[in-house]
Homo-oligomer: A and B are copies of this chain.
Amino acid sequence: MDMDKVNSMDFGDFVEVFGNVIERCPLIAAAVWSQRPFSDLEDLEARFCAFIDVLPQSGQEGILRCHPDLAGRQLQRGTLTAESQREQSAAGLQGLGAEERRRLAELNAQYRARFGFPFVLAARLRDSAAVMSELARRLHCPPAQELRTALGEVKTIGRLRLRDLLGADPARL
């Protein structure tokens, strides 16, 4: 898909195609449509990131709260969005043993209790060992820093999803 195609989309098509670039937040794609035309992929990415950056803190936390746990109930039940399913599978989170799953669930619960949002990570850039060690590390970060880190991961996930949709090279990230 090229940018002329993207720029010619009505908002219905745009939200259908880009609505899950930010997990379960079609509102953001729908808002970004106001900024068309986009000059290129980087411009489109920048518009998604800029919208996230201008939200009040509660809205930024809200974005994070729309994300599923990594290796959580939704992965086991098969109720993840297609994008999350693919990303969590790519990190090998479907193949975890019972003990690893239990340990990850425990750390996820501690993280949620401490920060008030779930642990978000661009899983497909990592393997399951890295997911676990990142979670254990970030669990002890100061809250303001952790919010920034988590939003950075949301943006990375969004960039990778945009590159998938536009057929661009994900290795450039």
A62 to B22, CA, bound (A): 14
Interface secondary structure of A, over-half rule: helix
Q: Which of B26, B32, B58 has a CB less than 8 Å from the CB of A24?
A: B26
A82 to B55, CA, bound (A): 28
Contact A57 B34 (CB under 8 A): yes
Contact A30 B66 (CB under 8 A): yes
A117 to B27, CA, bound (A): 12
Output the least CB separation between A3 and chain B (Å): 19
For residue A61, CB closer than 8 A to chain B, the reply is yes
- Known contacts A27-B63, A31-B55; can you find 18 more A-B pairs with CB under 8 A? A11-B112, A15-B65, A25-B26, A26-B66, A27-B66, A29-B62, A30-B61, A30-B63, A30-B65, A31-B56, A31-B61, A31-B62, A32-B62, A33-B65, A33-B116, A34-B61, A34-B116, A51-B59
Output the least CB separation between A72 and chain B (Å): 10
A116 to B10, CA, bound (A): 8
Of chain B, the residue at the smallest CB distance from A65 is B30
Cβ of A35: which chain B residues have Cβ within 8 Å of it? 58
Of chain B, the residue at the smallest CB distance from A57 is B34
Q: List 6 A-B contacts (CB under 8 A).
A: A27-B59, A33-B62, A34-B57, A35-B58, A55-B55, A55-B59
